Amino acid sequence: MNISRNFIVIGGLYLLVGIFFGMYMGGSGDHTLAPVHAHINLLGFTLMTVFGLAYRLIPALAGGVLATAHFWLHQIGAFILLVGLFLLMSGTVGEGIGIIFPVAELAVLAGILCWVLNVYKNA
């Protein structure tokens, strides 16, 4: 797996979606979904692009199990978090969905822990 390319390409896809939300808010004047927009752009585009660039710049980070674990934990955690936040804040689903958030947040956090360990050991 080319972890650097995957992070950067997927980050770009999040940016497209994030900009779409921003344009919708700007056009409609309804800013209810601002936190969804913010975190699609930040957790999706910004972080993933930073990670992708770092894995490209420091190849020693990219090879091991910590990098693979980081990639998948971030992808799965961020996706569940962002889709869940959208469904909740748009009123599509009720508060019952709240149970998924700690799980998704822990996945993102565990991924970041792998990242920090990897950087500490190999950067």
* Binding residues vs ligand HEM (CB under 6 A): 18-19, 22-23, 25-26, 31, 34-35, 37-39, 41-43, 45-47, 81, 105, 108
CB nearer ligand HEM, residue 64 or residue 69 = 69
Q: 41 near 13, Cβ under 8 Å?
A: no
| Lookup result for tokens 């930040």 | 42
Closest distance to ligand HEM from the beta carbon of 108 (Å): 4
Q: Nearer to ligand HEM by C-beta: 54 or 105? A: 105
Closest contact distance (angstroms) between CB of 1 and ligand HEM is 23
The answer to whether the beta carbons of residues 41 and 15 sit under 8 Å apart is: yes
Residue with smallest beta-carbon separation from ligand HEM: 22
**Which residue's CB is nearer to ligand HEM, number 58 or number 110?**
110
CA 7, CA 49: separation in Å to the nearest integer?
6
What DSSP string describes 13-41? HHHHHHHHHHHHHHHH---TTHHHHHHII
Amino acid letter at 32?
T
Is 23 or 116 the residue whose CB approaches ligand HEM more closely?
A: 23
CB of 14 to ligand HEM, least distance (A): 10
d(CA 112, CA 31): 29
